[in-house]
Amino acid sequence: MQTSYLRPTYVEIDQEAIYQNVHQEKERLPKDTALFAVVKADAYGHGLLPVARVCRKAGATGFCVATLDEALVLRDAQIVEPILVLGITSVQEAAIAASQNISLTVADEQWLVTATELLDQTPGLPPLAVHLAVDSGMGRIGFTEPDALLATAEFLQSHQAEFDFEGIFTHFATADQVDETYFKQQVAKFKAMVAILPERPHYVHVANSATSLWHTDLVSNLIRFGVAIYGLNPSGTALSEPYPLKPALSLYSELVYVKQIHAGDGVSYGATHIAKQDEWIGTLPIGYADGWLRRMSGMSVLINGQRCQIVGRVCMDQMMVLLPKELPVGTKVTLIGKDGDDEITMQEVADYAHTIHYEIACGLKNRIPRHYLPCRA
């Protein structure tokens, strides 16, 4: 999608906030604990490379991504720290990962068997670093049976020319919830699975942002620090942050057209808003093609520190707001962020859309340019 630099809608990223969020978490960790910054999905919509560079400056010792392509972008940008691909990578790409010193997640022995044949066809490759995933209750990827995990660990022991058994990990489904019953079941299963290994790999890790924030007793020698990098509470509003996180993303636009409508006039598709009296309507150049979802109709934006309602349905590229009075074209509009004494948070937007802030951040399309405030640290 073409980035639209020549319209007055943009995302602003506070790199200082990202630095502080990472740095203060790094300061809380034991000295021998690695912090891998999770920068998948274009760093949750914040920008892969700018965020990775700030995280490294703040003390991140490695990175987690979702796909091999994301890892290769980091390598191409001279990011030399360890990189772990959290998703399943096609076995056909094993040699590429090995050649670039990128660690891959493995969830079954057959993947390794096939990879061995492929890696042996390319002489001179370093061993491919792998992390075994354990499905302790997430139901997504990973080993569920001890016998299968043990057999795979033994396979890795006997194929050290092809593989470096670098890590083992699991992912918690409810680490961000008040009720810890299911969480404790997952902890117990993972510990039992690790206990059957003939030897522990270098990294044994369970901690996503939620676990690192609220279950510090479980932090081992690596945490996968994700949504908290961006100043967002992993639990939404269920749990209080142990220390302040500073949101890094704001979303701005401006009025590009202002008109007065009269009683009985309709606004947008379906004429879902009908004026009951004379009203001033402002049009903004942002819509659902930018990730500002159609279901945001009725939400408020901030103009001159005052809340103004989105009226009518959000269109693909534009939307309309009800103004308190006639305002000049070019007036700044805040969709996410602070204006005067008021603030619209990502969490508020997510609550209105009946979703989570992760989805709002990741859904802001690259058609919206990112502007970066400098990091002075």
Q: Is 164 exposed, middle or buried (CB count within 10 Å of its CB: 0-12, 13-18, 19+)?
A: middle
Calpha distance 162→114 (Å, rounded): 11
Are 26 and 58 in contact by the 8 Å Cβ rule? The answer is yes
Q: In sequence order, what are the residues at sequence separation of 6 or more whose Cβ sits closer than 8 angstroms to the Cβ of residue 141?
A: 87, 88, 105, 107, 133, 135
Q: Which pTM value belongs to this model?
A: 0.95
Calpha distance 291→357 (Å, rounded): 13
Which of 156, 159, 160 is CA-nearest to residue 168?
156
Calpha distance 308→305 (Å, rounded): 9
First to last CA, the chain: 33
Domain with CATH 2.40.37.10 in the chain: 249-373
| CATH of span 249-373 | 2.40.37.10
DSSP string computed for 34-60: EEEEE-HHHHHTT-HHHHHHHHHHHT-
The pLDDT of residue 377 is above 90: no
Name the token pair of 45: 């919509």
Q: Which CATH number fits domain 32-230: 3.40.50.720, 3.30.70.100, 3.20.20.10, 1.10.10.10?
A: 3.20.20.10
DSSP E strand boundaries for 186-235: 203-205, 222-225
- For strand 370-373 and strand 10-14, is the pairing parallel, antiparallel, or unpaired? parallel
Binned at pLDDT 50, 70 and 90, residue 343 comes out as very high
* Catalytic center residues: 40, 269
Residues 236-266: tens digit of each pLDDT: 988 898 899 999 999 999 999 999 999 999 9
Q: Is 316 labeled as ligand-binding? A: yes
Q: Is 376 labeled as ligand-binding? A: no
Residues 269-312: tens digit of each pLDDT: 999 999 999 999 999 999 999 999 999 999 999 999 999 999 99
Calpha distance 52→314 (Å, rounded): 33
Residues 122-134: tens digit of each pLDDT: 989 999 999 999 9
DSSP E strand boundaries for the chain: 10-14, 34-38, 62-65, 83-88, 103-106, 128-134, 163-170, 203-205, 222-225, 249-254, 257-261, 266-267, 273-274, 279-284, 300-303, 306-311, 319-323, 332-339, 342-344, 370-373
Residues 56-79: tens digit of each pLDDT: 999 999 999 999 999 999 999 999
Name the token pair of 56: 């490294």
The pLDDT of residue 203 is above 90: yes
Name the token pair of 199: 């030897």
Domain with CATH 3.20.20.10 in the chain: 32-230
Are 132 and 143 in contact by the 8 Å Cβ rule? The answer is yes
Q: 113 forms bridges with which residues in the sheet? A: none
Calpha distance 96→119 (Å, rounded): 10
